[in-house]
Amino acid sequence: MKKSLGAKVLAFPTPVWIVGSYGEDSRPNMMCAAWAGVCCSKPPCVYVSLRKATLTYGNIMARKAFTVSIPSQKFVREADHIGIVSGRDEDKFKKLGLTPIKSDIVDAPYPSEFEVVLECKLLHTLEIGLHTEFVGEIMDVKADENLLDEKGHISMERFKPFVWDTGDASYRAIGEKIGNGFEDGETIK
Amino acid sequence: MKKSLGAKVLAFPTPVWIVGSYGEDSRPNMMCAAWAGVCCSKPPCVYVSLRKATLTYGNIMARKAFTVSIPSQKFVREADHIGIVSGRDEDKFKKLGLTPIKSDIVDAPYPSEFEVVLECKLLHTLEIGLHTEFVGEIMDVKADENLLDEKGHISMERFKPFVWDTGDASYRAIGEKIGNGFEDGETIK
């Protein structure tokens, strides 16, 4: 029996993505986004949804570019801090001891220490309500070499990423493999 | 040292969401979407990105509504099957022995057996490229009562949802809690 929980943002999983952008005087900033995901295969695109009040909103509008860094579980405290504090009040790179790298493709920075980064060029904005969606074309994905398996794929066992549980306001590990795509469903005759 | 992997759709995590819609003659259909997520808090909205070639694309355009069902790990084979086969070739509800329920709020169906469902009214479409984004306002979230903890929240321990690993084309469990949001970051002074 299902129970109605109301018109709420309750959906699982949501990501923990660190959005990198340059502000005035080319000061690098990071924010944490869970309202984010993949939205197109060709061109390859991701989006992040941001409130107008954020520093990142203005930064992306001005520079037409952003990065999405995906941290592993060892950076859960840093990710949470990035989500709590505004870049208006603190240089989060300095505070957290993270190294801002200038993307060689788009006009945005990313923290060297987080394992995977997507470098994105702003393609669309969509005003929805409290949040504005920024759709970015993925110009390149870069990953720490030690994460790659023999096929050159990012190994989840090595990477150990995590998700956001919006219902409980907690972070959860991405765990063991439980099935194979485009295979398991074939066994249903 | 980071290695360039190219301009690819490589992002973690992505969800395994089952999109319910009515077709002609009110025939219920389901498809599986990983290009999906939350995109606004007020109004509460999710989106799913679909190719024009899908049956669901036309269904949502016609009915202006869809549901998003989130299955637990015990339904991984069913979810994969829903992602492999087109509703043009098969009645997936019948094939999988799932029960189509008509939403009492929006003009779309959902499978009774999947544990969590979001009932959505179409708010925006955004043409990006191969995929079109459908933004839906969440009119209600319904969850199986036995998933709810003492606070009325959906317990991840009881629910046991999973994610899509697009790099490896596999499904992975959402695992143990590794941190608390808006708390862990406060410990960085």
Q: Which two tokens stand for residue B10?
A: 């490589």
For each of chain B's 189 residues, which pLDDT tens digit applies?
A: 899 999 999 999 999 999 999 998 899 999 999 999 999 999 999 999 999 999 999 999 999 999 999 999 999 999 999 999 999 999 999 999 999 999 999 999 999 999 999 999 999 999 999 999 999 999 999 999 999 999 999 999 999 999 999 999 999 999 999 999 999 999 987
**A142 interaction partners in chain B (CB closer than 8 Å):** 2-5
A105 contacts on B by Cβ (under 8 Å): none
Q: Select from B43, B123, B156 the Cβ nearest to the Cβ of A172.
A: B156
Q: Which two tokens stand for residue A161?
A: 């990423």
Cross-chain Cβ contact B39/A46 below 8 Å = no
Q: Which residues of A touch B79 (CB under 8 A)?
A: 185
Q: Which residues of A touch B83 (CB under 8 A)?
A: 181-182, 185
| Four-residue CA torsion sign, A35, A38, A40, A46 | positive
Please indicate whether, in this complex, the C-beta atoms of A82 and B185 are within 8 angstroms of each other.
yes
B150-167 burial, b at 16+ Cβ within 10 Å, e below that, comes to eeebbbbeebbbbbbbbb
B125: nearest CA partner in chain A: A126
Subunit contact B37:A36, Cβ cutoff 8 A: yes
| Alpha-carbon gap: A164 to the closest alpha carbon of chain B (Å) | 8
Domains of chain A are 17-180 (2.30.110.10)
H-helix segments, chain A: 55-63, 76-84, 92-96, 156-159
Is the distance from CB of B109 to CB of B67 less than 8 angstroms?
yes
pLDDT tens, residue by residue, A24-43: 889 999 999 999 999 999 99
